[in-house]
Structure 1
Amino acid sequence: MSRTELSGPVATAVKAANDGDVESYLAAFTPEGAVDDWGRVFRGRDAIREWSDAEFIGKQVSLEVTAVRTEGPTTVVSAQVGGNGFNGPSDFAFTVEGDGITLMRITG
Protein backbone atom coordinates (compact mmCIF):
# COMPACT_ATOMS: atom_id res chain seq x y z
CA MET A 1 0.00 0.00 0.00
CA SER A 2 1.39 3.38 -0.92
CA ARG A 3 2.08 5.96 1.73
CA THR A 4 -1.31 7.72 1.29
CA GLU A 5 -3.49 4.99 -0.25
CA LEU A 6 -6.55 3.94 1.73
CA SER A 7 -8.75 0.89 1.30
CA GLY A 8 -11.88 -0.76 2.66
CA PRO A 9 -13.95 0.89 5.36
CA VAL A 10 -11.17 3.36 6.23
CA ALA A 11 -11.27 4.72 2.67
CA THR A 12 -15.07 4.86 2.87
CA ALA A 13 -15.00 6.79 6.16
CA VAL A 14 -12.40 9.33 5.02
CA LYS A 15 -14.16 9.91 1.68
CA ALA A 16 -17.54 10.24 3.41
CA ALA A 17 -16.12 12.77 5.88
CA ASN A 18 -14.65 14.82 3.05
CA ASP A 19 -17.93 14.60 1.11
CA GLY A 20 -20.03 15.60 4.12
CA ASP A 21 -21.90 12.28 3.82
CA VAL A 22 -22.80 11.27 7.37
CA GLU A 23 -24.80 8.20 6.28
CA SER A 24 -21.84 6.66 4.41
CA TYR A 25 -19.53 7.61 7.28
CA LEU A 26 -21.74 5.79 9.79
CA ALA A 27 -22.13 2.79 7.47
CA ALA A 28 -18.34 2.30 7.55
CA PHE A 29 -18.60 1.39 11.26
CA THR A 30 -19.83 -1.84 12.78
CA PRO A 31 -23.11 -1.40 14.71
CA GLU A 32 -21.15 -1.42 18.00
CA GLY A 33 -18.29 0.68 16.61
CA ALA A 34 -16.95 3.68 18.49
CA VAL A 35 -15.13 6.97 18.14
CA ASP A 36 -12.58 7.89 20.81
CA ASP A 37 -12.04 11.64 20.57
CA TRP A 38 -9.18 12.28 23.00
CA GLY A 39 -10.67 10.01 25.66
CA ARG A 40 -14.31 10.87 25.06
CA VAL A 41 -15.85 7.66 23.70
CA PHE A 42 -18.96 7.61 21.53
CA ARG A 43 -20.21 4.03 21.04
CA GLY A 44 -22.78 2.96 18.48
CA ARG A 45 -23.94 4.71 15.34
CA ASP A 46 -26.41 7.02 17.14
CA ALA A 47 -23.72 8.32 19.50
CA ILE A 48 -21.22 8.63 16.63
CA ARG A 49 -23.80 10.61 14.63
CA GLU A 50 -24.35 13.02 17.54
CA TRP A 51 -20.60 13.51 17.93
CA SER A 52 -20.07 13.91 14.19
CA ASP A 53 -22.93 16.39 13.78
CA ALA A 54 -21.47 18.56 16.54
CA GLU A 55 -17.73 18.15 15.97
CA PHE A 56 -16.81 16.41 12.70
CA ILE A 57 -18.93 16.27 9.56
CA GLY A 58 -21.25 18.92 11.01
CA LYS A 59 -18.21 21.23 11.13
CA GLN A 60 -17.50 20.62 7.42
CA VAL A 61 -14.36 18.66 8.24
CA SER A 62 -11.79 18.07 5.52
CA LEU A 63 -9.06 15.46 5.80
CA GLU A 64 -6.02 15.82 3.55
CA VAL A 65 -4.26 12.50 4.01
CA THR A 66 -0.50 12.90 4.38
CA ALA A 67 0.53 9.39 5.47
CA VAL A 68 -0.93 5.94 6.08
CA ARG A 69 0.52 3.02 7.99
CA THR A 70 -1.11 -0.29 8.76
CA GLU A 71 -0.16 -2.81 11.43
CA GLY A 72 -2.48 -5.77 11.80
CA PRO A 73 -6.09 -4.60 12.11
CA THR A 74 -5.16 -0.96 12.75
CA THR A 75 -4.58 1.69 10.09
CA VAL A 76 -3.24 5.05 11.24
CA VAL A 77 -4.12 7.92 8.94
CA SER A 78 -2.18 11.13 9.36
CA ALA A 79 -4.07 14.08 7.95
CA GLN A 80 -4.15 17.82 7.78
CA VAL A 81 -7.56 18.65 9.22
CA GLY A 82 -9.55 21.63 7.97
CA GLY A 83 -13.09 22.89 8.32
CA ASN A 84 -14.99 24.94 10.85
CA GLY A 85 -13.73 23.07 13.91
CA PHE A 86 -10.25 21.86 14.80
CA ASN A 87 -7.66 22.71 12.15
CA GLY A 88 -4.18 21.26 12.00
CA PRO A 89 -2.38 17.95 11.82
CA SER A 90 -3.95 14.93 13.47
CA ASP A 91 -3.74 11.15 13.48
CA PHE A 92 -6.73 8.84 13.27
CA ALA A 93 -6.19 5.21 14.28
CA PHE A 94 -8.85 3.00 12.69
CA THR A 95 -9.30 -0.56 13.97
CA VAL A 96 -11.08 -2.72 11.42
CA GLU A 97 -12.81 -6.03 11.94
CA GLY A 98 -14.30 -7.72 8.89
CA ASP A 99 -15.99 -5.09 6.74
CA GLY A 100 -16.35 -2.42 9.41
CA ILE A 101 -14.54 -0.04 11.68
CA THR A 102 -14.76 -1.03 15.34
CA LEU A 103 -12.87 2.03 16.59
CA MET A 104 -11.69 5.37 15.23
CA ARG A 105 -9.34 6.86 17.80
CA ILE A 106 -8.16 10.44 17.35
CA THR A 107 -4.62 10.28 18.63
CA GLY A 108 -2.91 13.53 17.85
Structure 2
Amino acid sequence: MTESLPPLLADFIESVNAHDAEAFIAAFATDGVVDDWGREFVGPEAIVRWSDREFIGSAGTLRVISITRHGQQTVVVGDWRSTHANGVSAFTFDVAGDKISRMTIREG
Protein backbone atom coordinates (compact mmCIF):
# COMPACT_ATOMS: atom_id res chain seq x y z
CA MET A 1 0.00 0.00 0.00
CA THR A 2 1.36 3.41 -0.93
CA GLU A 3 0.95 6.06 1.74
CA SER A 4 1.52 9.77 2.17
CA LEU A 5 4.70 11.27 3.55
CA PRO A 6 4.83 12.28 7.19
CA PRO A 7 5.18 16.09 7.44
CA LEU A 8 8.84 15.86 8.56
CA LEU A 9 9.79 13.93 5.42
CA ALA A 10 7.62 16.01 3.11
CA ASP A 11 9.39 19.13 4.41
CA PHE A 12 12.76 17.37 4.11
CA ILE A 13 12.22 16.44 0.45
CA GLU A 14 10.98 19.94 -0.27
CA SER A 15 14.18 21.36 1.27
CA VAL A 16 16.31 18.98 -0.81
CA ASN A 17 14.54 19.95 -4.03
CA ALA A 18 14.93 23.64 -3.12
CA HIS A 19 18.64 23.06 -2.41
CA ASP A 20 18.15 24.48 1.09
CA ALA A 21 21.20 23.18 2.93
CA GLU A 22 20.18 24.70 6.28
CA ALA A 23 16.74 23.07 6.32
CA PHE A 24 18.28 19.81 5.06
CA ILE A 25 20.72 19.47 7.96
CA ALA A 26 18.20 20.79 10.50
CA ALA A 27 15.98 17.78 9.75
CA PHE A 28 18.60 15.39 11.19
CA ALA A 29 19.13 14.48 14.84
CA THR A 30 22.48 15.68 16.23
CA ASP A 31 23.73 12.07 16.06
CA GLY A 32 22.01 11.43 12.72
CA VAL A 33 23.47 9.11 10.10
CA VAL A 34 23.44 9.05 6.32
CA ASP A 35 24.22 5.62 4.85
CA ASP A 36 24.86 6.21 1.16
CA TRP A 37 25.20 2.77 -0.42
CA GLY A 38 27.24 1.50 2.55
CA ARG A 39 29.27 4.63 3.20
CA GLU A 40 28.23 6.08 6.56
CA PHE A 41 28.38 9.74 7.52
CA VAL A 42 27.66 10.38 11.20
CA GLY A 43 26.79 13.73 12.75
CA PRO A 44 26.11 17.13 11.21
CA GLU A 45 29.66 17.95 10.09
CA ALA A 46 30.12 14.66 8.20
CA ILE A 47 26.63 14.82 6.70
CA VAL A 48 27.18 18.41 5.51
CA ARG A 49 30.55 17.49 3.91
CA TRP A 50 28.87 14.57 2.10
CA SER A 51 25.88 16.67 1.07
CA ASP A 52 28.02 19.54 -0.20
CA ARG A 53 29.65 17.11 -2.65
CA GLU A 54 26.93 14.61 -3.47
CA PHE A 55 23.46 15.80 -2.42
CA ILE A 56 22.48 19.46 -1.98
CA GLY A 57 25.75 20.66 -3.51
CA SER A 58 25.18 18.59 -6.64
CA ALA A 59 21.86 20.37 -7.35
CA GLY A 60 19.96 17.17 -6.65
CA THR A 61 16.22 16.72 -6.93
CA LEU A 62 14.09 13.80 -5.82
CA ARG A 63 10.81 12.89 -7.53
CA VAL A 64 8.85 10.56 -5.26
CA ILE A 65 7.61 7.39 -6.95
CA SER A 66 6.26 5.49 -3.95
CA ILE A 67 6.06 5.65 -0.17
CA THR A 68 5.79 2.75 2.26
CA ARG A 69 5.66 3.10 6.04
CA HIS A 70 6.62 0.52 8.66
CA GLY A 71 6.21 1.98 12.15
CA GLN A 72 8.79 4.77 12.56
CA GLN A 73 10.47 3.83 9.28
CA THR A 74 9.46 5.23 5.91
CA VAL A 75 10.78 4.02 2.56
CA VAL A 76 10.65 6.52 -0.29
CA VAL A 77 11.46 5.18 -3.72
CA GLY A 78 12.34 8.11 -5.90
CA ASP A 79 14.01 9.22 -9.08
CA TRP A 80 17.16 11.10 -8.07
CA ARG A 81 18.68 13.56 -10.53
CA SER A 82 21.86 15.55 -9.86
CA THR A 83 25.23 16.50 -11.28
CA HIS A 84 26.73 13.68 -9.18
CA ALA A 85 24.44 10.66 -9.74
CA ASN A 86 21.13 9.78 -11.35
CA GLY A 87 18.60 6.99 -11.10
CA VAL A 88 15.93 5.36 -9.03
CA SER A 89 16.92 4.77 -5.41
CA ALA A 90 15.24 3.72 -2.19
CA PHE A 91 15.62 6.22 0.65
CA THR A 92 14.82 4.59 3.99
CA PHE A 93 14.21 7.06 6.80
CA ASP A 94 14.32 6.18 10.49
CA VAL A 95 12.68 8.87 12.58
CA ALA A 96 13.13 9.56 16.29
CA GLY A 97 10.72 12.16 17.61
CA ASP A 98 10.72 15.06 15.18
CA LYS A 99 14.12 14.37 13.57
CA ILE A 100 15.61 11.96 11.06
CA SER A 101 17.94 9.61 12.91
CA ARG A 102 19.07 7.71 9.81
CA MET A 103 18.70 8.00 6.05
CA THR A 104 19.80 4.93 4.11
CA ILE A 105 20.14 5.11 0.34
CA ARG A 106 20.11 1.91 -1.69
CA GLU A 107 19.04 0.58 -5.06
CA GLY A 108 15.37 1.25 -5.72
Contact kept? 1:8, 1:99, Cα under 8 Å:
no
- Match status 1:82 vs 2:85: no
Q: TM-score of the superposition, structure 1-length normalised?
A: 0.93
Secondary structure, in 3 states, of the residue corresponding to 1:107? Answer: strand
Q: Counterpart of 1:33?
A: 32
Q: Counterpart of 2:21?
A: 22
Moved over 4 A (4+): none
Note the C-alpha offset of 1:5. 2.7
After superposition, what is the alpha-carbon deviation per residue over 1:35-92, rounded to whole angstroms, capped at 9, x for unaligned?
0001110011111000000001100001000100000111000001112111110110
Note the C-alpha offset of 1:15. 0.9
Secondary structure, in 3 states, of the residue corresponding to 2:48? Answer: helix
What RMSD in Å do the two structures reach over aligned CA positions?
1.3
**Identity, % of aligned positions:** 40
After superposition, what is the alpha-carbon deviation per residue over 1:8-56, rounded to whole angstroms, capped at 9, x for unaligned?
3212221111000011011111110010001110011111000000001
Q: TM-score of the superposition, structure 2-length normalised?
A: 0.93
Note the C-alpha offset of 1:7. 1.9
10-19 vs 51-60, which moves further: 10-19
